[in-house]
Structure 1
């Protein structure tokens, strides 16, 4: 096991005392959920992983709404299999979704993204097993190994890593974590993730009148046998099971999570059920100001247009790169600005093929409108 302590990677002290926790039922696996460059997994890139830990901690300490006391995870595992100590054993995590879930399990995050590096390298899987074993030995973690999405509506830890979790969280050579796995992951067979269709959320934990409308349509169609009470405005496992019956009746196959008949709507089946696709009232859109020209964005130079650009990056959440004090709007086009623009470009299909971090007319319009 390769473990880097907080002091060794340069952790900042917590904002206030971390809550002590004697033991947990297990460990929840997470991923970063943003773009992570594939190059991070290169053999000669390991020296940058400690800096990435410092960036993760800084992003949590500067989070605008969560008021984290420290990096949220108990540990983070890099693509090279090294464990970076986060809050550590016997400290309540801040990452699992709410206070109850945070007290139930520790949280281990993989340096894995929803784009770029999305397939966990074998060394990372080895490191994740090492992290689980470490928290069992040093922090009295129980046998459960689960994904963040188990019990909380989120896409985390991503489909590829979640598939590994549901398969028993084993090493590439087939060895299970010390003590095996138990609890809510293996064998549940219930899809607990959300999708967005026409601006509305569907799937486990989604809420709203549109959820009630789906339930009523299922009952009217003869697909309501799993309801004991309801249907209601919050999507539950009963909604998933009933929607699965409807999908199977349509001829869909595959009932495991993320297969065609897993009980989570897609636009085709939803329109078939409701006769239309409900949608949110479109928000009033704004027109981007005129593009100032590429000469406004020269590395190290100042221009008022950079402040406008920064405003768009901040509004859309592309602020991962900064000097350690959070990303601030300003008139200087810095390397942090360029890297954040590149993240936006990679995440935008129309721009992903030319993600150099320098705004052109299309980047400017899509970011500011």
Structure 2
């Protein structure tokens, strides 16, 4: 199926890139709607409107993994591998899709068919049957509305006469070409037909490519997108990351990569060390994209987390653009004759450059609302059996916001109920400082942590 990428619908750079989530952690598929008002438009305005709303709330960007309009178009939000912001307590385990309807509006057959196709793809990518859920199955809310929720509970059926969404040709092809070079190549390698080049910078903690600076200058003179890679050895991961970023001749907008494969001695870094290296480089160079290079054997047999930073660069010497993996990939190295040659999933050199320069360092104090101080604790006498007051409503609403509203069938409201007690207890048990006194009744410490 065709998924319209963030670049294609004109997404803004992330306001702090969301965390990467391995597909192995996904167990649920959540369906949402837009809210109380009908949506009377389709096209890129749909994800752009959601993005604007979520950015105004101080979020990183669109909170859903995907968005579907009434015409059946599927738009990438956080995609397959970024943590969502759609349902507290389920943002890691749950993939989410918003179908762009509101109020009592009915979803179109095209929208439902696209959603079902997306669900099937999600099950295929995760290797399991994901639980079908509406937003209200995660927290107390009206979302996804009566029509969509009934459809989810019926098993997400689709009209057999409705044509399935068109296939995504980008999954089997890519449109720009590039090379990767090391000291084995000259400093004036051919750039003919290329849009990008990756240059070996470092290896372990003691090797620097003596031709790196000249090779990078040659690529820049040709107007190519430039990347650098580090050949990872096992051990001393933080030191290797620092060595890489200190020694490579990178500039703002260059892509950084880790080469994960067997060393000349037959040793190899573990999957955990690979993940640590990527995260450490992202921490040291937050304004750069960081990607993973490995071959099919390492990806399918050595990798256990599916973490590839900002993208997967896969080596598989088959037809260009058709690597033999199910995971999303960014770059495909398809031959080493006469030089390591790659194809990348960008419409143009300009698109790749825009992607490479689209990282913004997360600045917690900029563009995000400052945390409000916790309201003062009203006193224990306001909570428990027989109590009825506004403080109980405030408590319940905050429990729902924090993802601990699962015991509310309705509400929350001002009258104390056993659902309030169970939700408070669940919150207390989830916090070490409270677990020793998890009686389901809020005290000053529970209140302070809940509202902080």
Same fold (TM over 0.5): no
Higher alpha-carbon Rg = 2
The TM-score with structure 2 as length reference comes to 0.37
As a proportion of its length, which structure holds more helix? 1
